[in-house]
C-alpha cells in the first residue's frame, strides 16, 4: 500500500512538472469545453489564495493570475494538464466579496452552481478555506450545494504559514469536524502554503487519485 502511494505521488510530481497550458475562459456554460478529460474544480472565497495555490501546484509563477483585488477571476478558467491530455483544472470565480455589484455576484454564483451541478467530467471539487479565518457561512453555502449535487470535495486550508501552529491545529480540527458532518466531503484534509510548499505534494497526489477514479 505504501509502495502504491509512493508511486502515485511520484506520478503526480511528474505530471504537474510537465506540460500544463491555459485552454480557455468561459463566461457562461455555452463556452465551456467538451468534457473530454477528468476535471478538478477549485472553489473558494475571493482572496483565499486560489490563484497562488494553482501556481504552486503546477510549479508555475503565473499560470493563474494573482491579484490583491478580490474577485478578479470572473469566468471559469480551464487548464490542460499533460501531453497527451490527462486532466483539466478548473479555476472558478471567487465568491463572498463585497466590492462587486450585486447582479455580477449573482451571475457568477449561477455560473459556478450550474457548472458544478451538471458536469459529468467533474471528478472532485476543492473548497479552499483561509487558515486565518476558518469556515465562513458563504463556504457552507457552497458545501451545501456540493452535498446536494453529490459532488465529492476536499476541504483545503490555504495560507497555513500565516498563522501560528496552535492556531492552525485549532482551525484544522474545526474543519475536520465540519467535513465529518458532510455527506459529500472527503475525510482527507490538507493544510497548504503556496509560499513554503507545505501540503502541496500531498494535494497533487490526491488530485491525480481523484482524476483516475
Q: Give the C-alpha separation, 2 to 143, whole Å.
A: 31
Domain assignment of residue 157, yes or no:
no
Q: Which residues does 213 contact at the CB level (< 8 Å), separation at least 6?
A: 123
> What pLDDT shows up at residue 63?
79
Question: 153-158 and 76-81: which strand pairing?
Answer: unpaired
Q: Are 135 and 129 in contact (CB under 8 A)?
A: yes
| Residue bearing cell 502554503 | 193
> What pLDDT shows up at residue 95?
75
What domain count does the chain have?
Answer: 1
Bridge partner list, 136: none
Domain assignment of residue 183, yes or no:
no
* Domain span at 2: 1-124+135-148+198-212
Angle between helices 200-211 and 50-57 (to 10 degrees): 80
Domain assignment of residue 103, yes or no:
yes
| Residue 85: CATH number of its domain | 3.40.50.300
Domain assignment of residue 190, yes or no:
no
Would you state the cell numbers that stand for residue 177, as one nine-digit string? 469536524
Q: Are 179 and 189 in contact (CB under 8 A)?
A: yes
> What pLDDT shows up at residue 64?
67
Domain assignment of residue 160, yes or no:
no
Q: Which residues does 119 contact at the CB level (< 8 Å), separation at least 6?
A: 35, 39, 41
* Mean pLDDT in consecutive groups of 10 residues from the start of the chain, 213 residues: 86 95 90 95 90 91 59 77 96 71 74 84 96 93 88 97 97 97 96 97 97 93
Domain assignment of residue 181, yes or no:
no
> What pLDDT shows up at residue 38?
97
> What pLDDT shows up at residue 71?
47
Domain assignment of residue 23, yes or no:
yes
Domain assignment of residue 40, yes or no:
yes
Exposed e or buried b for every residue in 13-37, given b needs 16+ CB within 10 A? bebbeeebeebeebeeeeebbeeeb
> What pLDDT shows up at residue 48?
92
Amino acid at each position: 500500500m505504501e509502495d502504491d502511494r509512493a508511486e502515485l505521488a511520484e506520478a503526480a510530481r511528474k505530471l504537474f512538472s510537465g506540460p500544463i497550458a491555459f485552454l480557455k475562459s468561459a463566461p457562461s456554460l455555452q463556452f465551456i469545453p467538451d468534457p473530454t478529460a477528468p476535471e478538478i474544480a477549485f472553489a473558494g472565497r475571493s482572496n483565499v489564495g486560489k490563484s497562488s495555490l494553482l501556481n504552486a501546484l503546477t510549479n508555475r509563477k503565473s499560470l493563474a493570475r494573482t491579484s490583491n483585488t478580490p474577485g478578479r477571476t470572473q469566468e471559469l478558467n480551464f487548464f490542460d494538464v499533460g501531453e497527451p491530455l490527462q486532466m483539466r483544472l478548473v479555476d472558478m470565480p471567487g465568491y463572498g466579496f463585497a466590492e462587486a455589484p450585486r447582479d455580477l455576484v449573482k451571475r457568477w454564483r449561477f455560473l459556478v452552481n450550474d457548472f458544478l451541478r451538471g458536469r459529468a467530467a467533474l471528478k472532485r471539487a476543492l473548497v479552499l478555506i483561509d487558515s486565518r479565518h476558518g469556515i465562513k457561512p458563504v463556504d457552507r453555502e457552497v458545501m451545501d450545494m456540493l452535498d446536494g449535487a453529490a459532488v465529492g470535495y476536499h476541504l483545503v486550508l490555504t495560507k497555513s504559514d500565516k498563522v501560528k501552529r496552535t492556531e492552525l491545529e485549532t482551525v484544522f480540527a474545526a474543519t475536520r469536524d465540519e467535513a465529518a458532518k458532510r455527506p459529500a466531503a472527503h475525510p482527507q484534509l490538507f493544510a497548504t502554503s503556496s509560499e513554503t510548499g507545505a501540503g502541496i505534494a500531498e494535494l497533487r497526489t490526491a488530485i491525480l487519485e481523484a482524476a483516475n477514479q
